[in-house]
Structure formats: C-alpha cells, structure tokens
C-alpha cells in the first residue's frame, strides 16, 4: 500500500485544529451524515476586498465560552443552501480552511453557521474524511488530546479562580 492510500482511523469525536487561522484546539464531531464540514461562527459579515467577496467572522474554540476568540477574514469560496439535521434549510457561506485532524493537515470546505444549541463547535464531514480517514464509532479522541491545562482553560470562573 502506498502512502497516498494509507488511511487513518478517527473516533466519533476528535480534537482538531485550524492552523491557518490560529485555532490550535477545538472539539469536533465526526459526522458521516454531513457532506461539508461546518464551523460555529459569530458576527458573520460579508465585505469587499479588492473587488472580491470576503467574509469576516469570529471563532470561539471553547464550548460555552468566548475566551480565546479568534477573528478571521477569508475569501468567500461559495454560498450554499444547507439542510440541517433538524430539516431546516439555511444559506451559508463556505470558506476554505486548513484542518488538522490526527497528525495531518488537509484542505476543508467549511460552512459558517451558529451552532449554539449543538454540543460541538465543529462538524467534520465526508469531504474531509474522503482524504484518507475511516471512522470507528466505538472510540473517541484517537488523535490525542491537548494537555489537561488547555482542555480546562475555558472552565475558569470569570474571576479567574
């Protein structure tokens, strides 16, 4: 088997990174039911840059927290109608991002949406998984986890305690 045909096993949830925008760690659900990956984005705003359409948004990598928010500006790759798992259809911006999954960085088309009621800030869809990943639904975090200090950093109380 050549290196280009090697597959990596991922669990049903993984810690991922978005290195091209400075997000080192974020919990993601691996979703074979979704074609495109999606990201919980705040303050999504379209703007013009040198005659091209861009989008500005914030990423909050930690669940239930705005700590470590990252401001991002990316060219708009596409706009698509996306049907959520609840059946709701929404037009979403699509941007291209590098995604670190396990020990590799792959290209990902990512839709931007509000995922306030969802348990994960990101879903990793089939387009990413087709780049050499298989899912074992019986395991989690096959790619490892950040240190305990990093994982718990968003659980601090507002007074810093």
Distance CA 133, CA 10 (A): 7
Tell me what pLDDT residue 60 has.
85
Six-digit token string for 52: 């091209």
Contact yes or no for 109/96 (Cβ under 8 A): yes
Task: Give 127-150 as a DSSP string.
Answer: HHHTTTEEEETT---TT----HHH
Task: Give 27-93 as a DSSP string.
Answer: EEEE-TT-SSEEEEEEEEEEEEETTEEEEEEEE--STT--TT-EEEEEE--EEEEEE-TTS-EEEEE
Nearest to 26 by CA among 51, 62, 52, 50: 62
Count of C-beta atoms within a 10 Å radius of residue 42: 14
Predicted confidence pLDDT, tens digits, the chain (161 residues)? 344 557 899 999 999 999 999 999 999 999 999 999 999 999 999 999 999 999 999 998 877 777 788 999 999 999 999 887 778 888 999 999 999 999 899 999 999 998 666 678 899 999 999 999 999 999 999 998 888 887 766 555 444 44
């Amino acid at each position: 088997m050549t290196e280009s045909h090697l597959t990596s096993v991922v669990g049903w949830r993984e810690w991922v990174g978005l290195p091209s925008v400075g997000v080192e760690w974020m919990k993601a659900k691996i979703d074979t039911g979704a074609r495109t990956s999606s990201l919980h984005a705040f303050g999504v705003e379209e703007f013009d840059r040198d005659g091209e359409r861009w989008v500005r948004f914030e990423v909050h990598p930690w669940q239930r927290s705005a700590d470590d928010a990252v401001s991002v500006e990316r060219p708009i790759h596409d706009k698509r109608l996306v049907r959520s798992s609840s059946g709701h259809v929404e037009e979403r911006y699509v941007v291209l991002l590098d995604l670190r999954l396990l020990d590799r960085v792959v290209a990902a088309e990512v839709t931007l949406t509000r995922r306030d009621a969802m348990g994960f800030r990101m879903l990793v869809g089939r387009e990413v998984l087709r780049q050499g990943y298989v899912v074992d639904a019986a395991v989690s975090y096959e790619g490892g986890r950040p240190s305990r200090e990093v994982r718990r950093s968003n659980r601090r109380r507002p007074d810093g305690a």
